[in-house]
Structure 1
Amino acid sequence: MEKRKTRTKINEVKQITLKLAITPTTGYVSLPNHPHTVGCVDNTIQLDQLIEAYKGPSIYLDFNKSGELIGIEILG
């Protein structure tokens, strides 16, 4: 009889925050590693710079100094 290998799966729950600006066409998604401090965004890249044929709302990707994605801004 063959032994079955058991796997331990750890589910970690992380919170994603969605903030709407004063206008209903603007939103910001804070990813779990976003520190929510002034100056935490080191680099912002517009999505259409990454996807040449992108058609849609303006989407900006915010990165920290380590190059980790920490937030997404959506302008409708």
Structure 2
Amino acid sequence: MATLKHSLDNHHAIDAITPDEPISADTLEARRARRMAALKKVAGIWAHRPDIPADGLEYQRQLRSEWQA
């Protein structure tokens, strides 16, 4: 299983890349394009649902009202 190195701008699997291997050309534009494609897939997945309020704040209040104190 690959272990991930966490940093703000560089996400590579540590044990999947050895120092002798060149890092693939993963450009900023390519990472942004992948991120945007993933976000577009999930954007609006709760839109037009009749069982939840359209207002996000109202929905949050409704959920929290069910929590036990």
State if a TM-score over 0.5 links the two structures: no
TM-score normalised by L of structure 2: 0.27
TM-score normalised by L of structure 1: 0.26
The structure with the larger Rg is 2
Greater helix share, 1 or 2? 2
Greater strand share, 1 or 2? 1
